[in-house]
Amino acid sequence: MKLKHWLALPLIAAVTAAAPALAADKFRVGYLRVMDDAQAIVAYEGKFYEKAGLDAELVEFKSGTDLIKAIVGGQLDIGVLGFTNAVAWASKGADLKVIGGAQQGYHSLVVRDDTGIQDVAGLKGHVLASQSEGSTADVVLKGVVFKQAGLAAEDVNVMGVSPAVAVQSLVGKRVDAAFLFEPYDRIAQLVAPVRQIYEIGQAWPFPCMVVITSGETLDKRKDEVWKALDAQKQAIDLLQQQPSQAASLIAGYFIAEPTLKTLAHGDLPREKVIEDAIRTQVFTPVLKEKDVARMQEIAGILQEQGSLKTRDGSQYDVSGIVDLSWQKAREL
């Protein structure tokens, strides 16, 4: 079964220091082609940025690292990406600010029916597809999911691939399981004989995706940054309250063909697949005190894994990069 015609593969916007300068009056919003970043896409396709008075340009990236580089390099105004990327770069001196919330950590473990795996501990000795080492998915998989199940990272053969390749690998029986975010979890369960055995958003909710900017951009373009956050809040309201309408705006970003051929339900309209994926998510523009506390826990996990270090070996304090002035001003 071939998926390459079904999944909308990323068309990556290369943004480098040598790239031509974008128009100065454009407000540039970076995103990754994942459901976790749906608010950025919905705000653009639903013209919420435009209604907020912004001439916004949506710029796609292949990885959070590339997006961060564009923020730091001044080629991007804001972006939606995993918190782990933001804190890792900030700990190295990058001028970054976490200014709003996005999505609360949906990542699921799906296993092939023929493997006999019943729980997370049963992954020992098996091959699992996840994202690349150091990604948010990789950090929570090894630092939370495996740890809760009494597994060490080396107990499972983790293959770092894109989510689309992970789904293809499940279909082709090249892996026994996959750690996926939406809509790839939903797609996997429709096109492959797999079942979900764990979802971290239920077991260990955390602010997976956040909105970031640079301190300099926040100082110089605060009004525009806040307008963008207003627009993304409207997008989140649509995602949470009218998932069908939101799905109609973004389905083409994730599934190239009008329908998805499934094992049990025949051809499903892509809008239905994406609507169901949206319904599994918890989107929120607000970062609460418990979220900041969870981010501090994640920073601790990164330090344990050796990917975040401080000069004196002390615990990294995430409060230095969190700016909640927008949500306080909006009384959210």
What would the pLDDT profile of 203-256 be if each residue is shown by its tens digit? Answer: 999 999 999 999 999 999 999 999 999 999 999 999 999 999 999 999 999 999
Q: Which ranges of the chain have pLDDT less than 50?
A: 1-2, 4-5, 9-23
**54 and 81 housed in the same domain:** yes
Amino acid 8: pLDDT:
60
> Residues 123, 220: one domain?
no
Quick check: is 271 in a domain? yes
Are 221 and 88 members of one domain? yes
- Which residues have C-beta within 8 Å of that of residue 259, sequence separation ≥ 6? 267, 268, 269, 270
**The pLDDT value given to residue 48:** 98
Within a domain: 12: no
Predicted confidence at residue 6, as pLDDT, reads 53
**Residue 177 sits in the same domain as residue 141:** yes
Which residue among 174, 203, 232 closes a domain?
A: 203
Pair (89, 113) in one structural domain: no
| 245 within a domain of the structure (yes/no) | yes
- CATH code of residue 73: 3.40.190.10
- Residue 223's identity, in one-letter code, is D
**Residues 59, 138 within the same domain:** no
Q: Strands 108-112 and 194-199, how do they pair?
A: antiparallel
**Domain end among 159, 184, 203:** 203
Decide if 9 is inside a domain: no
Provide the domain count of the chain: 2
Are residues 149 and 187 located together in one domain of the fold? yes
The answer to whether residue 314 sits within a structural domain is yes
Q: How many residues does this entry show for the chain?
A: 332
Residues 195 and 248 in one domain: no
3-class DSSP state of 194: strand
Q: What SS3 state is found at 116?
A: coil
pLDDT value of residue 19: 36
195 within some domain: yes
The domain boundary, picked from 203, 235, 266, lies at: 203
In sequence order, what are the residues at sequence separation of 6 or more whose Cβ sits closer than 8 angstroms to the Cβ of residue 67? Answer: 30, 31, 32, 61, 76, 79, 81, 85
Q: Could you tell me if 262 and 229 lie in one domain? A: yes
Quick: pLDDT tens for 76-112: 999 999 999 899 999 999 999 999 999 998 999 999 9
Same domain, 157 and 303: no
Segments forming the whole domain that contains residue 284: 27-104+207-329
Task: For residue 236, tell me if it sits in a domain.
Answer: yes
pLDDT at 313: 86
Asked, for residue 1, whether it belongs to a domain, the answer is no
Q: List strand residue ranges (DSSP E) for the chain, in order.
A: 27-32, 56-61, 78-82, 96-103, 108-112, 127-130, 157-160, 177-180, 194-199, 209-214, 259-261, 267-269
Tokens of 255: 């599934």
The reported pTM is 0.91
| Crossing angle for the helix pair 222-241 and 243-254, to the nearest 10 degrees | 110
Instruction: Kindly state whether residues 235 and 312 are assigned to the same domain.
Output: yes
Rounded CA gap, 277 and 246, in Å?
A: 11
Indicate if 71 and 215 belong to the same structural domain. Answer: yes
